[in-house]
C-alpha cells in the first residue's frame, strides 16, 4: 500500500515520527534539581509525620494518665467515705452493747438494723465473735 510522505516529519503510511532535531531536550541539571526538590519534600514530609506522631502519642498518654488519676482519686474518696461510714456503724454498735446487759434477741435485732443500714456499701455479713462485732465486706471475701 503506498503511503503518504510528509516532508516535514517523514511520515510513511500515516505513522508520524519527529525529527531528532525538532525534539526539545531536557537538560540534566533541571532534572537533577527537580529530583532533589522532590526528595527534599519527601524528607520534610517524613520528618513532620514522625514529629506529629510523637506529639500525638505524648498528648494521648498525658490525657490517659490524667483520666486515670481522676478515676483513682474518685475511687480513693469513695473508699474513704465508705470506711468512715462503716467505722461509725461499728462505734454505734459498740455503744449499743456498752449500755446494758447482753440480750441475744436484742443483739440480733441491733445487728439486723445495722446490717440494713450498711447493706448498700457492700457489707454482706455481720457477726459477733467473742463479744466483738466484725463486718464482712464484699472486698474481703
Q: How far is CA 49 from CA 26, 37, 38, 52, 58, in A?
A: 33, 18, 16, 5, 14
**Residue 49: strand, helix, or coil:** helix
DSSP states along 65-78:
HHHHHHHHHHHHHH
Q: Which residue has the higher pLDDT, 63 or 106?
A: 63
Per residue in 24-51, pLDDT tens?
A: 667 888 889 999 999 999 999 999 999 9
Per cent of the chain over pLDDT 70 is 69
**Cell, residue 55:** 506529639
Q: Which residue has the higher pLDDT, 135 or 103?
A: 103
**Residue whose grid cell is 526539545:** 24
> Is the pLDDT score of 131 beyond 80?
no
How many whole angstroms from its chain centre is CA 46? 26
The CA distance from 1 to 57, in Å, is 72
The CA distance from 74 to 52, in Å, is 33
pTM: 0.51
The CA distance from 48 to 40, in Å, is 12
Q: Which residue has the higher pLDDT, 22 or 62?
A: 62
> Is the pLDDT score of 1 beyond 50?
no
Residues whose CB is less than 8 angstroms from the CB of residue 126 and which lie 6 or more positions away in sequence, other chains included: 111, 114, 115, 118, 133, 134, 135, 136
pLDDT band at 67 (very low <50, low <70, confident <90, very high): very high
> Is the pLDDT score of 4 beyond 70?
no
pLDDT (mean) for 112-139: 67
**Cell, residue 131:** 463479744
The CA distance from 75 to 68, in Å, is 10
Amino acid at each position: 500500500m503506498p503511503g503518504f510522505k510528509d516532508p516535514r516529519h517523514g511520515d510513511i503510511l500515516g505513522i508520524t515520527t519527529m525529527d531528532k532535531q525538532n525534539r526539545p531536550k531536557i537538560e540534566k541539571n533541571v532534572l537533577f534539581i527537580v529530583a532533589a526538590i522532590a526528595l527534599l519534600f519527601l524528607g520534610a514530609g517524613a520528618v513532620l509525620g514522625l514529629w506529629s506522631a510523637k506529639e500525638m502519642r505524648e498528648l494521648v498518654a498525658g490525657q490517659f494518665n490524667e483520666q486515670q488519676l481522676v478515676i483513682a482519686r474518685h475511687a480513693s474518696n469513695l473508699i474513704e467515705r465508705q470506711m468512715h461510714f462503716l467505722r461509725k456503724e461499728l462505734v454505734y454498735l459498740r455503744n449499743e452493747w456498752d449500755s446494758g446487759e447482753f440480750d441475744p434477741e436484742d443483739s440480733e435485732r441491733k445487728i439486723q438494723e445495722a446490717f440494713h443500714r450498711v447493706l448498700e456499701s457492700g457489707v454482706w455479713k455481720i457477726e459477733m465473735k467473742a463479744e466483738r462485732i466484725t463486718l464482712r465486706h464484699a472486698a474481703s471475701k
